[in-house]
Chains A and B, each alone.
Chain A
Amino acid sequence: MENKSVVVQMPSSPNNEGRSLIQNNKKWTSIFNRNSEWRGKIWIYGSAIFVILSVIAITLFLTVQGLRSFVVDHINVIDFITGTEWYPDRAENPSYGALPFIFGSLMVTILAAMLAAPFAIGSALFMTELAPKWGQKVLQPVIEILVGIPSVVYGFIGLSVIVPFMRDHVGGSGFSLLSGALVVGVMILPTITSISADAVRAVSNDLRSASYALGATKWQTIYRVVLPAAKSTLITAIVLGMARAFGEALAVQMVIGNARNLPNAISDPSATLTTIITLSMGHSTAGSVLNDVLWSLGLILLIISYGFILLIRFISRRGQVS
C-alpha cells in the first residue's frame, strides 16, 4: 500500500525539494481523503485506545471508591468479607459483614448455571445435530427473543408467577434463592445456547463421519465424539452465562427477597451483591459510610467478574492445546 502512494505522488512532484514538501502536506490533509490510510488508522487505533482506557478508568475508579471504607472508615477487610451481620444503619455498633451477599451471588450464579446448562446444551445440539433446518428457522428466533426481553420483565414475571408458585409448592414466602436462580437461569439460557451451538458447529465433520463409519448411532456420536470435541468451548459458554448471571441485579432483586442474613435453605430469602447495591445506593449520601461500603461491594463484584474472565481464558487456552 505504501509503495502505491509513493508511486502516485511521484508524477506530481516537479523536483526533489518540492516533493518532500508535498508529501508532508499530503500526510496531514489526507485525513479528509476517503482512501487515506491515516483516517482508517486513527479510527481503529482510537477505538482500541478508548476501550482500553475506559476499562482502566472504571477499574481505577471502583478501586479508589471501594477502598475508601477500609482506608477512610477503618473497616477491617477480613471482617467485611467474612462477617455475616449487615447493619450499616444501626445507631450503636453498626456492622458490615458482606459474606451473606457474596454467598448469595455465588449461589444464584451456580444454581442458575446448573439449571440452564442442560437445557441450553440440549437445544444447541437440537439446532445443530438433529434438526439443523427447523432448528435454525424456529429455535434461533426464539432464543433471540429471549435475549431481547428486558430484565425488568423477567423480574415482574418472576414476582407474579414464580414467587406464588414457590410459595404454594415449596413453602415459605416464595421469595428465595431458588426463585432468583430460576429467573436468572432463564435469562442466561440464550447466552449459553448460542455459544454452545457455535461450539458444536465448529466440530469437524470428519469426526462425525469417522464415528458413523465405525457403526456408532447418532446419540453415541453426539455423546462420545461431538460433546468431548466441543468440551472446552461448552465450558466457556457456561462460564460466560455465569458471568452474566453474576451481574444481574434488577430481576433478581424482585424475586430473591433481599434478606440480609445467610439463608439456611435454598427456599429461604437471600440477597446478592448487586441487589444490596441497587436497593441502598439511592438512599445513601455520597461519602457516607453506607455509600463507601456499597462501593466496596461493587469492587468485590468487579474482582469476581475478573475471576470469571481469567477462568474463561484459562479454559480456552487449555482447549487449544488438546
Chain B
Amino acid sequence: MKQKKWIALTAILVLSLILSACGSKDTSSSGQSSNGNNKEELSGKIVIGGSTALQPLAAAAAAEFMKEHPKVQIEVQGGGSGAGLSEVSNGNFDIGMSDVFAESKSNIDASQLKDYKVAVVGMTAAVNKEAGIKKLSKEDLIKVFTGKVKNWSEVGGKNVKITLVNRPDGSGTRATFDEFALDKQTPAEGITQDSSNTVKKIVNETPGAIGYLALSYFNDDSIVKLAIDGTDATEDNVASGKFPVWAYEHMYTKGDPKPLVKAFIDYMMADPVQSNIVPAQGYLSVTKMQVERNAEGKLTNK
C-alpha cells in the first residue's frame, strides 16, 4: 500500500514538472515573437505600476487594448507613485505611473524619464455638512488647514469644531492640495488617511471634518464640495484654468519607449480612451485642457 502511494506521488510530481515545463516553454516562445514581428501584430508583455489613483484608468485602458491585440499581455500593478517612479528608473516597470512630476522627487533623475501626461485630476476640499460651509476664500482655507482657525463659526459657518483630515507624506494628492490650494503652507496636524474612500467616509461621519478629494468622489451629496475664492470646483473651471487645484496623471518611460509600449501610450492618449474611458473613470481628458502647467507649477495657455 505504502509503495503504491509513493508511486502515485512521484507520478504526480513528474506530471506537474512536465506541465510546468510546458508552461515555461509557452511564455518563452511568446517572448521571442515579441522581439520579432511588431509591425503586423503586436505581441509581448508590458508591466505598468505605480500610482494607485491612476491604476483603475490604466487597467481599464489595458483591458480594451488587450481586446484589440489579443497577443499582448499588460500587467497593471499598484504600489504608489514613489514606487512607480523608482521602479521605472530601475527598469523594472515598462511604464511608471505617478501623480506627481518626477522632478518633484529629489532622488529621481527626471532627465532620464519621458513624461506622458495621460489625464488630469481636479480636486477640492470636502467638508462635512454640519459645518455649514459651501465656499471659502483661499485665505480662510489656509487659516483652516494651518490650524489658525479652530471653529467653523470663525469663517462664517456654524459653531462646530474643525477636524482636519490630511493625506500621508509623499502623497500626490497632498502635494497638489498643499501647493495649489494652500499656497505651499504646511497643514496642521489632524487625522491622516491614505485611501480616498476612507477620507470620504470620515468627512461624511465626523461633524466639522474637512479633507480633500478628487472631483470624482463628489458623486453624491454626502459631503460638501467646497468652492474656493468664489469659483466652483467643476471640470469646466479646471479645464479653463479658473480653478487652480488640479494635477496631471503621468505615465513615465525610461528613455524612448519600446514599440509595444509606445503603441499602448499612443492608445492612452488617443481619442477613444481620452473621450470615453478617462471621463468614465472620473478624470478630465488632457485634450480638453485649455491651459498647461510645467513641473515648476507655472501655468500657460495652450
| A→B interface (CB under 8 Å) | 34, 87-91, 159, 163-164, 167, 173-175, 254, 257-261, 269, 271, 276, 279-291
- B206 and A173 within 8 A (CB): yes
Q: What is the CB-to-nearest-CB distance from B248 to chain A, in angstroms, rounded to a whole number?
A: 17
Q: Is B266 an interface residue (CB 8 A)?
A: no
Residues of A with C-beta under 8 A to B209: 173
B residues 240-281 in Cβ contact with A at 8 Å: none
| Contact across chains for B193 and A282 when beta carbons are under 8 A apart | no
Q: For residue B274, give the distance in angstroms from its CB to the closest CB of chain A.
A: 27
Q: Name the B residues within 8 Å of A287 (CB-CB).
A: 86, 107
Sample of 6 more A-B contacts, CB < 8 Å, known A282-B52, A285-B83: A175-B191, A260-B192, A283-B171, A283-B172, A285-B86, A285-B107
Q: Is B293 part of the binding interface, using a Cβ–Cβ cutoff of 8 Å?
A: no
Nearest Cβ in chain B — how far from A261, in angstroms? 5
Do A280 and B190 contact each other (CB < 8 Å), given the known contacts A34-B6, A254-B198, A285-B105? no
Complex contact A286–B86 (CB within 8 A):
yes
List, in ascending order, chain A residues with CB within 8 A of B6's CB: 34
What would 9 A/B residue contacts be, using CB atoms closer than 8 Å?
A258-B191, A259-B192, A271-B192, A279-B194, A283-B81, A283-B170, A285-B83, A286-B83, A287-B107
> Looking at the complex, which one of B79, B106, B168, B205 makes contact with A258 (CB distance below 8 Å)?
B168
Q: Choose among B85, B90, B107, B174 the residue with the greatest number of A CB atoms under 10 Å from its CB.
A: B107
The reply to whether the CB of B201 lies closer than 8 angstroms to some CB of chain A is: yes
Interface residues of B in 155-204 (CB under 8 A from A): 163, 168-172, 174-175, 184, 186, 189-194, 198, 201-202
Q: Which residues of B contact A285 (CB under 8 A)?
A: 82-83, 85-86, 105, 107-108
Complex formed: what's the CA distance from A247 to B205 in Å?
29
Complex Cα distance A290/B79, Å? Answer: 16
Contact B169 A269 (CB under 8 A): no
Contacts of B205 in A (CB 8 A): 163-164
Q: Which residues of A contact B194 (CB under 8 A)?
A: 279
A-B pairs, top 5 by smallest CB distance, nearest first, are A282-B80, A283-B170, A258-B192, A279-B168, A286-B86
Interface residues in chain B, defined as those with a beta carbon under 8 Å from any beta carbon in chain A: 6, 52, 78-83, 85-86, 90, 105-108, 163, 168-172, 174-175, 184, 186, 189-194, 198, 201-202, 205-206, 209
Instruction: State the Cβ distance, B193 to closest chain A Cβ, in Å.
Output: 7
Q: Which residues of chain A are within 8 angstroms of B169 by Cβ–Cβ distance?
A: 87-89, 279-280, 283-284, 290
A287 to B90, CA, bound (A): 12
Which residues of chain B have C-beta atoms less than 8 A from A159's C-beta?
Answer: 198, 201
Most buried by B among A164, A261, A282, A289: A282
Q: Tell me the bound Cα distance from A167 to B201 in angstroms.
A: 14
Chain B residue numbers with a CB within 8 Å of A173 are 163, 191, 206, 209
Tally inter-chain residue pairs, CB-CB below 8 A: 93
| Across-interface contacts of B191 in A (CB, < 8 A) | 173, 175, 257-259, 269
Bound-state Cα–Cα, A20 to B6, Å: 30
A288-B192 in contact (CB<8A): no
Q: Which of B80, B82, B193, B202 contacts A288 (CB 8 A)?
A: B82
**Does A283 contact B80, Cβ atoms closer than 8 Å?**
yes
Q: How far is the CA of A257 from the CA of B164 in the complex (A)?
A: 10
Known: A258-B191, A258-B192. A280 touches B170 (CB 8 A): yes
B82 contacts which chain A residues (CB < 8 A)? 281-286, 288, 290-291
A239 to chain B, nearest CB (A): 30
Q: CA A174 – CA B169 in complex, angstroms?
A: 22
| B168 and A283 form a contact (CB under 8 A) | yes
Q: How far is the CB of A116 from chain B (nearest CB, A)?
A: 25
Cβ-neighbour of A260 out of B90, B171, B175, B189 (below 8 A): B189
A62 to B139: give the CA distance in the assembly, Å.
44
Contact partners of A260 in chain B: CB under 8 A: 189, 192
* CB of A111, distance to nearest CB on chain B (Å): 19
Closest CB-CB distance, A317 to chain B, in whole Å? Answer: 42
Min C-beta distance of A311 to chain B, whole Å? 31
Rounded to whole angstroms, the CA-CA distance of A88 and B79 in the bound complex is 20
Which residue of A90, A257, A286 contacts B192 across the interface (Cβ within 8 Å)? A257
A257 to B168, CA, bound (A): 11
Whether B79 contacts A282 by the Cβ 8 Å rule is yes
Given contacts A258-B168, A288-B107, contact A281 B190 (CB under 8 A): no
> Which residues on the A side are within 8 Å of B81 (C-beta)?
282-283
Residues of chain A with a CB closer than 8 A to B79's CB: 282
Docked Cα-Cα span, A173 to B241, in Å, equals: 36
A289→B170 CA distance, assembly (Å): 11
CA distance A99 to B94 in the complex (A): 39
Q: Is the CB of B189 within 8 A of A259?
A: yes
Q: Which of A164, A175, A254 has the most CB of B within 10 A?
A: A175
Give bound CA distance, A285 to B81, whole Å.
8
Q: Are A284 and B192 in contact (CB under 8 A)?
A: no
A-chain residues with CB within 8 Å of residue B201 when the two chains form the complex: 159
Chain B hits for A288, CB < 8 A: 82, 105-107
B185 to chain A, nearest CB (A): 10
With contact pairs A167-B206, A282-B82, A291-B82 given, residues A87 and B108 touching in the complex (Cβ less than 8 Å): no
By the criterion CB–CB under 8 Å, are A269 and B190 in contact? Answer: yes
Please measure, in the bound complex, the distance between the C-alpha atom of A245 and the C-alpha atom of B83, giving whole angstroms. 28
